[in-house]
Amino acid sequence: MKTKIIAHRGASKYAPENTMPAFELAYKIGADGIETDVQLTKDHVPVLIHDENVNRTTDGAGYIKDYTYHELKNLDAGAWFSKKFQGARILSLDKFLKWVENKPLYLNIELKNNKIDYRHLESIVYERIVHYQLLNRTTISTFNPNSIKRMKRYNDKLEIAFLASKSFRNLIDTVTELGGNAIHVKYSLLHKKLAAEGKQKNIPLRVFTVNRKMRIVRCLHYKVEGIFTDVPDKALAIQKYIH
């Protein structure tokens, strides 16, 4: 099994995260997949942005939940990163999925509902993935245990990953008890036993966010299902050298 190199928020080391320039660059580089984050607007449009507010990555201020999608579209989501990207916009999930539709990319869509538990986020995102016929190559991930339980109702075949940034006892068993069937862990939680247990129990294990050379190498040696990285070009070069 070849470890998937997944561009974290797109090629986010080189372009503003979760924007079309970052996604297009990740695709051009040759990443196996793209990870992105979904929040919900005031008018229930799923949009791609990591933070619950727009303060860090746009020229606006305030919470996503207090904006309509039309209002969000007027914000600049690129200038904070570099003048080169001035004018980049916050994307709707629909625009992103339409762009992905005919490209051979694996998708990881993270529901950002651990701080604000958006009502109906799971059903809205699931419906859009079904609409674009992308279920067979999409993983839905979340830090929210209740969200895992809600997602499980929609489709037994859907891959639902629990995100873990802190240690749990019997982590993989905990995930399966919640209804998840994949696990995404912070790099500091990765160890050989966990990687082996994931394979034994047929639970895909992916690791975030892996940018340093030795960490990439370690993940590749453990043959994890995938790594999330801001530098997909670097990870792909290391993978090619190792293999």
- Rounded distance, CA 76 to CA 50, Å? 15
Instruction: Show me where the domains of the chain are located.
Output: 4-14+22-43+92-242
Residues 59-98 have pLDDT tens digits of 999 999 999 999 999 999 999 999 999 999 999 999 999 9
Residue 212, pLDDT above cutoff 80? yes
Q: Answer whether residue 121 shows pLDDT above 80.
A: yes
Distance of alpha carbon 231 from alpha carbon 119, whole angstroms: 34
Reference 206, options 214, 197, 195; nearest CA is 195
Closest CA to 113 of 156, 65, 158: 65
Look at residue 178 and give its three-state secondary structure.
Answer: helix
- Residues with Cβ within 8 Å of 241's Cβ and at least 6 positions away in sequence, in order, are none
What is the spatial distance between Cα 100 and Cα 132, in angstroms, rounded to a whole number?
9
Q: Find tokens 């580089």 and name the residue.
A: 29
Q: What is the pLDDT of residue 156?
A: 75
Domain made up of 4-14+22-43+92-242: CATH architecture = Alpha-Beta Barrel (3.20)
pLDDT in tens, 33-52: 999 999 999 999 999 999 99
Which of 40, 38, 42, 34 minimizes the C-alpha distance to 12? 34
Q: Which residues are catalytic?
A: 8, 50
Per-residue pLDDT tens over the stretch 127-177? 999 999 999 999 999 999 999 999 988 877 899 999 999 988 899 999 999
Strands 159-164 and 226-229 come out as unpaired
